[in-house]
């Protein structure tokens, strides 16, 4: 993999400022269960597949499943501005992040949680973002803001779906942006600093049952831009130091460390084929300046760029999923407002277009 890249103009001071501005203090808001009455989400008898494609139409949202190298319609849901969807077929849990505009023209996002026949709406804050669900699908982790411009962060928050309550996170760590993940069903990890403690920029671990916080990884070489948990003891870290990016593998149990590449400046979506120990992600290449599909062999830690001209640009916000054969489903775009769905055949190392016309598509996967 070529590793020559363009120089970035962003200074370290600016990066620090942006990281701190994206951080937030622990939440002190009241329980979300005190919000508006439950309202149903009309998804009817739609049988969500392992990979769902949502296409936003003017008067409804069309849902598709992947059938080989084609899309099959599976149903429609209301024409809400759905910003995100997380679901578990097995637990009959569907979580929608929905953009709302109130009567005064103010943006006020809602999180709609549908489980079985019941729907709960969380709309206490103006803006919610970056929802991540626990492996057992019992809890969601997200961050919230008091303003539509996301300049007044309230912190990361956890909501227990089964018990219909918020789990308070007791921490002094100012979490940097959306750099947080579920480690397992009881633990989350996040990168941040403690404002009155020098050299406190670490990745921390928090147990949601005991409320215990500890340092998970403290050997970072720069500012942490993104993290991905491979297993309870293994993690990928993308960091930046003096405009040099490094994607590195860490085993916190054994202390093993492996530099994977210096050619990636952003990671926006990650999926893992655990059976074949392969990881796929959408990343920004310093070499090309655009977003592409990449893979990492977790046996050798070899990183490979999989897409170049088809498509020329991978949609960094289009989603990422694996089909039952282990092929990679992703979106590519040639314009600002429309994209297409592609499939990367892992057996033949080839990419195919599977949509007939460009539209507003988003890929979601069963958790």
Instruction: Give tens-digit pLDDT for 99-158.
Output: 888 777 788 889 999 998 888 999 887 799 999 999 999 999 999 998 888 888 899 999
pLDDT in tens, 295-309: 999 999 999 999 998
pLDDT in tens, 176-206: 999 999 999 999 999 999 998 988 999 999 9
Please give the domain boundaries of the chain with CATH numbers for all domains: 12-263 (2.120.10)
- Rounded to an integer, what distance in angstroms lies between the CA atom of residue 28 and that of residue 35? 16
Three-state secondary structure call for residue 219: coil
- Rounded to an integer, what distance in angstroms lies between the CA atom of residue 74 and that of residue 88? 17
Strand bridging mode 165-167 / 153-160: antiparallel
Three-state secondary structure call for residue 16: helix
Strand bridging mode 110-115 / 118-122: antiparallel
Look at residue 17 and tell me whether its pLDDT is greater than 70.
no
Position 184 scores a pLDDT of 96
With vertex at residue 76, the alpha carbon angle to CA 125 and CA 107, rounded to the nearest 5 degrees, is: 20
Give the percent of the chain with pLDDT over 70. Answer: 88
pTM of the model: 0.85
- Rounded to an integer, what distance in angstroms lies between the CA atom of residue 175 and that of residue 206? 12
DSSP category for residue 238: E
The CB-side HSE value for 157 (13 A sphere, CA atoms) comes to 25
- Rounded to an integer, what distance in angstroms lies between the CA atom of residue 16 and that of residue 195? 12
Contacts of 278 (CB under 8 A, 6+ apart): 272, 295, 296, 297, 298, 326, 346
The backbone torsions φ and ψ at residue 327, rounded to the nearest 5 degrees and listed phi first, read -75, 155
**Number of neighbouring beta carbons within 10 Å of residue 281:** 25
Look at residue 171 and tell me whether its pLDDT is greater than 90.
yes
Contact 229, 209 (CB under 8 A): no
């Amino acid at each position: 993999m070529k590793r020559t890249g363009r120089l970035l103009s962003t200074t370290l001071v600016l990066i620090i400022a942006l990281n701190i501005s994206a951080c937030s203090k622990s939440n002190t808001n009241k329980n979300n269960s005190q919000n508006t009455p439950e309202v149903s989400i009309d998804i009817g008898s739609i049988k969500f597949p392992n990979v769902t494609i949502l296409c936003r139409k003017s008067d409804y949202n069309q849902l598709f499943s992947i059938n080989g190298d084609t899309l099959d319609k599976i149903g429609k849901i209301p024409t809400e501005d759905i910003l995100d969807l997380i679901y578990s077929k097995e637990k009959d849990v569907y979580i929608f992040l929905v953009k709302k505009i109130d009567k005064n023209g103010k943006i006020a996002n809602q999180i709609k949680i549908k489980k079985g026949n019941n729907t709960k709406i969380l709309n206490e804050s103006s803006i919610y973002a970056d929802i991540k669900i626990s492996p057992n699908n019992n809890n969601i982790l997200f961050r919230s803001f008091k303003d539509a411009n996301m300049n007044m962060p309230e912190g990361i928050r956890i909501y227990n779906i089964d018990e219909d309550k918020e789990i308070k996170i007791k921490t002094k760590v100012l979490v940097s942006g959306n750099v947080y993940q579920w480690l397992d069903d009881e633990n989350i990890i996040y990168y941040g600093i403690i404002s009155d403690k020098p050299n406190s920029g670490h990745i921390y671990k928090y147990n949601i049952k005991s409320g215990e916080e500890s340092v998970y990884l403290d050997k970072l070489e720069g500012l942490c831009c993104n993290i991905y948990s491979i297993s309870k003891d293994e993690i990928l870290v993308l960091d930046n130091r003096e405009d040099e990016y490094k994607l590195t593998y860490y085993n916190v149990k054994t202390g093993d460390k492996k530099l994977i590449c210096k050619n990636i400046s952003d990671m926006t979506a990650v999926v893992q084929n655990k059976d074949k120990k392969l990881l796929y992600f959408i990343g920004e290449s310093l070499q090309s300046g655009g977003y592409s599909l990449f893979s990492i062999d977790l046996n050798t830690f070899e990183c490979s760029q999989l897409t170049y001209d088809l498509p020329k640009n991978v949609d960094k916000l289009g989603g990422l999923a694996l089909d039952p054969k282990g092929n990679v489903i992703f979106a590519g775009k040639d314009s600002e407002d429309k994209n297409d769905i592609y499939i990367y055949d892992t057996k033949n190392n080839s990419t195919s277009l599977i949509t007939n016309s460009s539209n507003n598509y988003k890929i979601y996967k069963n958790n």
